[in-house]
Structure 1
Amino acid sequence: SDFHHYLLDEKGFSSGTITIYVSLFKKMCRIAFERGLCKNLLFAHYRVGTPKVTTPKALSMSDFIKIRDAELPEDKPRLSVSRDLFLFACYAGTAFIDTVSITKANVKVLEDGDKWLIYNRKKTGTLARVKLLPEALELMVKYEDGARDTLFPLLSTNRVRIDLITICKLAETSKTY
């Protein structure tokens, strides 16, 4: 379809993003048809292809250090929050959705004095146990707030993704992730 080619060629979207956009557009057309807003069921025979599986982009240690140590503009404090969410996820090995969902109640001190995250993963519901590294603990202390149950401020996945692209440019990493 022209829309598919527009998203691919003009916008430069990946196949996964195109699948999401086309699926949503098809759904809107179907709802419009069901409500009598259009006479034809547009895209009824158009099939959304399965997105091709891509190789994950591995972060090199040198790029990680550049991101960690990057000087960020003081007039954009959200960039620091986004970076800290990213760093915590790296140190703790958590998915982004888990990082922003983890609460203070999920932090447990075991008999040996070590602090652990014990929580159910959002995606799978499986129990996760993660020993917290000193770097992760430092980030937790930075965001201690009595008014909030979660360990960190809530930012959307898309907001953090956009901020990380900006941070990678400021840090002069070899590529954006």
Structure 2
Amino acid sequence: LELIEYHNTNMASVLKAGTLKNYFTTERYLNKFLIQKLKIKDIYLKQLNYRFIIDFERFLRNYSPSSKRKALGNNGVMKHLERFKKMIHFAIKLEWLVKNPFGQFQLKFDRYDRQYLSERELELIENTYFNSQRLERVKDIFIFSCYTGLSYIDVKQLTVHQIVKGIDNNYWIYTKREKTNEVVKIPILPKALAIIDKYKVLSERIGSEMLLPLYSNQKTNCYLKEIAKVCKIHKNITFHVARHTFATTVLLSNGVPIETVSKLLGHTKLSTTQIYARVLEHKISEDILRVVILQVIVSIMVNNLLLLKHGKPIDLEMH
């Protein structure tokens, strides 16, 4: 545990607050594992081995939180092991540990498609007016993110000073991503600009430099579920879905090159952006399949009409 404390103390000035919070959560799980399963409060680094890792993995998979939180899924388990692995590498660099207990262990994350809104779903939310001020406000800021790709924390920290008129005479957002520290320059599309103008008066009235009024992330996601229900969209919509929608529906679907998408999202690696391209390929494949099925149905209908015309039995089978 001394290693964990030393790691977290030294990384406090390097890691973002959210990332550091995740390390503290991993530390709590390690504490529970030591006390509940191994019946000890601490362990020497030299005692860490492959068995310790797989036993800790099993503990994480079987752990049932006493609160209302769900049990950890596979990727949640892998994230904790990934953080623990980084701490072990830190110990090796410090020469506190010689043999790497993770040497034979492979992290296996489940691959999943990023949830995003289709063009029709996006229009549906845009064109729905909510009598509730809280829902209308959350809808507006969600749509703003759909057309800028900004994450919740980046929207929350957005100020009037980050809106700049470019050499093209259009307005741009100049910001730095909270997560990666990457500088991002995003052209403000007309729908996003309209939302800025809508809330500009409110910001000026309350004397706030913040551009848009946000509820907490938890409340925002809760209200988004209400919005999805009203719009009859059967997807688990969170604020982060807006960012995925920007990448997939607003940019890639309209032919924007993946390199440009990567820059607009503030990704440090192109491979991160390519996840969206795979999602788009999957969607295109489904769309083509629907066209093929439609052509088969039309072909059968035409064939049956011709048979009826000549007084022959109708073919009811699809070939």
Residue 114 of structure 1 pairs with residue 170 of structure 2: yes
Q: Match of 1:99?
A: 155
Contact 2:163 2:174 in 1 (8 A): yes
Q: Match of 2:36?
A: 42
Distance in 2 separating the partners of 1:111 and 1:58: 32
Distance in 2 separating the partners of 1:130 and 1:164: 24
Contact 1:116 1:132 in 2 (8 A): yes
Contact 2:196 2:211 in 1 (8 A): yes
What per-residue deviation string (whole Å, max 9, x for no partner) do you get for residues 57-111 of structure 1?
Answer: 1211111111111232x2x311111111110011112222211211111000123
Secondary structure of the residue aligned to 1:41 is helix
Residue 27 of structure 1 pairs with residue 83 of structure 2: no
Runs of 4+ in 1 over 6 A off after TM superposition: none
Q: Match of 1:63?
A: 121
Unmatched 5+ stretches in structure 1: 1-19, 32-39
Identity %: 22
Contact 1:169 1:176 in 2 (8 A): no
TM-score computed with the length of structure 2 as normaliser: 0.42
Contact 2:159 2:209 in 1 (8 A): yes
Contact 2:176 2:183 in 1 (8 A): yes
Letter in 1 for 2:226: T
Instruction: Report the RMSD for the aligned CA atoms in angstroms.
Output: 2.8
Distance change (3 Å), C-alpha of 1:148 and 1:43: farther
Trace 1:1-177 onto structure 2 (pairs within 5 A): 24=25, 27=28, 30=31, 41-42=35-36, 46-47=56-57, 48=60, 49-50=77-78, 52-72=110-130, 74=131, 76-144=132-200, 145-146=203-204, 147-177=207-237
How many pairs does the alignment contain?
148
Distance in 1 separating the partners of 2:184 and 2:221: 24
Distance in 2 separating the partners of 1:100 and 1:43: 42
Deviation at 1:176, TM superposition (A): 3.6
> Higher relative contact order by CA 8 Å / sep ≥ 6: 1 or 2?
1
What per-residue deviation string (whole Å, max 9, x for no partner) do you get for residues 103-125 of structure 1?
Answer: 11100012332110001111100
Secondary structure of the residue aligned to 1:57 is coil
TM-score computed with the length of structure 1 as normaliser: 0.72
Compare the two structures and name the one with the higher helix fraction: 2
Contact 2:129 2:136 in 1 (8 A): no
Q: Match of 1:7?
A: none
Letter in 1 for 2:116: A
Contact 1:63 1:174 in 2 (8 A): no
